[in-house]
Amino acid sequence: MTVGKTGPRATKERILVVDDEQNARVALRTILSEEGYEIAEAADGEEALALLAGFAPAAILADVRMPRMDGLTLLKRAREAGSDAVFVMMTAFASVEAAVEAMRSGAENYLVKPLDVNAVLVVLEKALEKLRLQRDTANLRERVRERYRFHNIVGDAPELQAVYEVVKRAAPTKATVLILGESGTGKELIAQALHEESPRHDKPFIKVNCAALSETLLESELFGHEKGSFTGAIGRKEGRFELADGGTLFLDEIGDISPTLQIKLLRVLQQKEFERVGGTQTIKVDVRVVTATNRDLAAEVKTGKFREDLYYRLNVVAVTLPPLRARKGDIPALVSHFVEKYSKAYGKEIRGLAPGTLNALLSHDWPGNVRELENVVERAVVLCKGPELTADDLPPTLRGPRPRERAPGALIPGATLYEIEREAILRTLEMVGGSTSRAAEILGISVRKIQYRLKEYAGGAPPADHAETEGAGDGGPERAE
Ligand SMILES: Nc1ncnc2c1ncn2[C@@H]1O[C@H](COP(=O)(O)OP(=O)(O)OP(=O)(O)O)[C@@H](O)[C@H]1O
Ligand SMILES: [Mg+2]
């Protein structure tokens, strides 16, 4: 009885036979062992479940009707337990219902008792073949994922791979790393990857945005302060250098720090010690410093805006992230990464892109780099009505020339900003099922502004002073006449 099988198996595949009739189990064990499978037996679903983790079967041959736990319940519970074994159900009754039920619950196939030996082997081998294929695809997908990813960073353009290489080599050291690149190219992700790859990865990764704070606040943020050291310094506060002790301190937008702070920073980098603002106690820390900027720091050194000695301290290792337009080959991988991310976030089932969409994405120049692409994909996922993102879900600037006339009232050059805003608000509301808070989040405006506008729209023509309410920011409803 050599059925549909070529040569001896290299590794024995494991089959779990589950049947409450001992005779049936013995018969199956005999047949399948002869065929070179490794067999385990269980008398019901409960017993089978207990064996699952230890035995890790590739296939489970299970009787449908059994005491304690039947075959279909076993199937369900096995899936819950994370088993990907293929199921072949056995039933004593050649009923269509039982077969349909078995297949619908996810069984690969079913056999009718009394069992025909050849049928058992054919069905089993086919089921196993399917499992092998599934596992190969899963492996392949995993490998592709790995190839395109370094930590959470998607893309395998040569310029990016060079960056990954430098990160890997610099990570084990304490060298300061300067990350350069246009806005939105992923500088922060690289800083995080550097920390994750380093032996410090279970110590803190602390980030400070140097452009977000005034000189005084930034100084106390970095070095901490003693009580009453400046107006507003209520209690004593530990600075980020202290918080990052043992770990990594990421100073973002380093090009924006004032000359005074440049000197203070230089001192910490050289002497690894500092005092809190208004304090006298010298504090020693072990911190790996990573900085980033989208400015041309070398040029700022030449013009005297940035201290040369500090620049060399920060620039022990430098990596430059390429702009997205210079590595458009990464766009498809990035798009699919963001589609997956945002369809999950918004609970939408999106299969992929409709024809033409990717083309539109590839023709754009992406001045805002990956951040811009991410925003565009998020927006498209929100707007998308079907299972695929279409060019219509992209911002008008990306859609390119349209073959046919747009519907009246749509976003066309020549419309006023008010009309465009109205279209954006109404369309977004439509997409989020009328939730003003979701729409406000997506559009980046306040709920009050949306509500105010809705009142206006309901009233017909735009109010004569709508330009002024613009200046009032959120234009609260109290301003409506
Ligand atoms: N290669 C990438 N793979 C996946 N996501 C990315 C990639 N590059 C950037 N992103 C995403 O794009 C956004 C912007 O990235 P990030 O904040 O690291 O940019 P940046 O270079 O620090 O920009 P800026 O100079 O404006 O601060 C983030 O949401 C980030 O997750
Ligand atoms: Mg950044």
pLDDT, tens digit, 9 for 90 and up, residues 410-469: 456 667 788 788 778 777 766 665 667 777 888 888 888 877 887 776 655 555 544 434
322 Cβ inside 6 Å of ligand 1: no
- Name the closest ligand to CA 184: 1
Where does the pLDDT of residue 10 fall: very low under 50, low under 70, confident under 90, or very high at 90 and above?
Answer: low
CA-to-CA distance for 344 and 77, rounded, in angstroms? 25
Q: Which of 159, 180, 189, 196 to mutate to test the pocket of ligand 1 (most atoms within 8 A of CB)?
A: 189
Which whole-number Å values give the CA distances from 204 to 241, 247, 268, in the listed order?
11, 5, 18
CA-to-CA distance for 120 and 118, rounded, in angstroms? 5
Atom of ligand 1 at shortest distance to CA of 187?
A: 21
Q: Exposure of 54 by Cβ count < 10 A (0-12 exposed, 13-18 middle, 19+ buried)?
A: exposed
Protein residue with its CA nearest to atom 29 in ligand 1: 371
Are the CB atoms for 453 and 425 separated by under 8 Å? Answer: yes
Specify the DSSP element, H or E, that contains 284.
strand 282-284
Distance 185 CA to ligand 1 centre (A): 5
DSSP character for 285? -
Predicted local distance difference test score (pLDDT) of residue 28: 94
Residue 473 has pLDDT above 70, yes or no: no
Protein residue with its CA nearest to atom 10 in ligand 1: 186
Residue 287 has pLDDT above 80, yes or no: yes
Atom of ligand 1 at shortest distance to CA of 160?
A: 1
Predicted local distance difference test score (pLDDT) of residue 7: 43
Please tell me which residue, 463 or 149, carries the higher pLDDT value.
Answer: 149
Predicted local distance difference test score (pLDDT) of residue 363: 83
pLDDT in tens, 349-384: 888 788 778 878 888 999 999 999 999 999 999 999
Please tell me which residue, 104 or 146, carries the higher pLDDT value.
Answer: 104
Which residues have their alpha-adjacent CB atom under 5 A from ion ligand 2? 188
Predicted local distance difference test score (pLDDT) of residue 173: 94
182 Cβ inside 6 Å of ligand 1: no
Q: Which domains does the chain have, with CATH numbers?
A: 14-145 (3.40.50.2300), 153-322 (3.40.50.300), 325-404 (1.10.8.60), 407-481 (1.10.10.60)
Protein residue with its CA nearest to atom 30 in ligand 1: 186
Predicted local distance difference test score (pLDDT) of residue 478: 36
- Name the closest ligand to CA 183: 1
Where does the pLDDT of residue 115 fall: very low under 50, low under 70, confident under 90, or very high at 90 and above?
Answer: confident
Atom of ligand 1 at shortest distance to CA of 191?
A: 18
Distance 220 CA to ligand 1 centre (A): 27
As a whole number, the mean pLDDT across the chain is: 84
Where does the pLDDT of residue 400 fall: very low under 50, low under 70, confident under 90, or very high at 90 and above?
Answer: low
Residue 480 has pLDDT above 50, yes or no: no
Closest Cα partner for 154 from 191, 181, 185?
Answer: 185
Mean pLDDT to the nearest integer, 303-332: 93
Are the CB atoms for 179 and 191 separated by under 8 Å? Answer: yes
The percent of residues above 70 in pLDDT, for the chain, comes to 84
91 Cβ inside 6 Å of ligand 1: no
CA-to-CA distance for 36 and 61, rounded, in angstroms? 16
Predicted local distance difference test score (pLDDT) of residue 408: 42
Atom of ligand 1 at shortest distance to CA of 373?
A: 12
Distance 373 CA to ligand 1 centre (A): 10
Residue 177 has pLDDT above 90, yes or no: yes
The percent of residues above 90 in pLDDT, for the chain, comes to 52
Please tell me which residue, 248 or 69, carries the higher pLDDT value.
Answer: 248
Protein residue with its CA nearest to atom 18 in ligand 1: 186
